Amino acid sequence: MLEICEVGPRDGLQNEKKILSTETKVTLIGKLIDSGITYIEAVSFVNPRVVPQMADAEEVMNQVPKSNGITYAGLVLSKSGLERAVKTDIDVIHIVTTTSDTFNLKNARRTVEEATQELTSVMKAGISAGKRAVGVLGTAFGCPYEGNVPFDRVLKTAEAFLEAGFEKITLADTTGMANPAQVQAAVSEFTKAFGTSIPLGLHFHNTRGLGLANILAGYNAGIRSFDSSIAGLGGCPFAPNAVGNVCTEDMVNMFHSMGIHTGTKLEELIEIAQWMEHNMERPLAGMLMKAGVCSA
């Protein structure tokens, strides 16, 4: 079965100008769980002055439904973020760094090597505190400033994370620069380097309309773990022109149309997307909630 990491409550909302209430965020998460989603990136522990939408991370985690089989993840970028995260009921810490020096220097004032050293140290502390760790490698398919990012640099960062105890790596297309052939090549290179026992996830943005094509390329290359966002919400406040993530209900519809089980209820996901569009008070990017499920 596929693993869907629903990032709407975090990545989906972080770039929105309209600040949703804690109650609305918790309601969204509850609806997603009812639709069959079991892995949710619910919050991020970042500076609230930089990302005000995430200022209530602790309160969200205090109120979300707690039940067996549901995994909550939270994004962490620093030691201070980890210190906040370990005091909550977060199950998995998503530690993020980009693999482009230019991108990192512009947004975090440190090189990839410096960030990797700091974040591996941070995560060792998180693992000691009983949290699981996933390493998310941004700009893995290209940087808006540098263009191509050599994949050996991506692999080097992944290796450092894995040696530090990270249980999984996710390759993230931060500004939507990937194409299907590149995705297949990246999966192949990762597998050659680390084998098939290391879980690999993929995170795509639909900036240039290739989100679902890249998901399918990853699936055909053997990947079974994908990030997506309800209604296609999303964008990175640190990346120019990064529009929404791959849309959850559109992705589920693609897989269901192909006879691939996702464990989710498509009609409920469509209803959640429409509910989110109402809450955001603007048109959202998801296609299925506008066109409906094909009955042919």
Residues recognised as catalytic = 236
User: CB-side exposure of 30: number of CA atoms within 13 Å?
Assistant: 11
- Pairing type for strands 3-6 and 39-45 reads parallel
Q: Count CB atoms within 10 A of the CB of residue 46.
A: 24
- Six-digit token pair at 49? 């002055």
Long-range contacts of 77-83 (CB under 8 A, 24+ apart): 77/44, 77/45, 77/46, 77/108, 78/46, 78/118, 78/122, 79/118, 79/122, 79/125, 80/45, 81/44, 81/45, 81/46, 82/45, 82/122, 82/123, 82/125, 82/126
Number of CB atoms found within 10 A of residue 178's CB: 27
Is 170 strand, coil or helix? strand
Q: Where are the beta strands (DSSP E) in the chain?
A: 3-6, 39-45, 71-76, 92-98, 132-138, 168-173, 200-204, 225-228
- Burial status of residue 243 (CB atoms within 10 A of its CB: 0-12, 13-18, 19 or more): buried
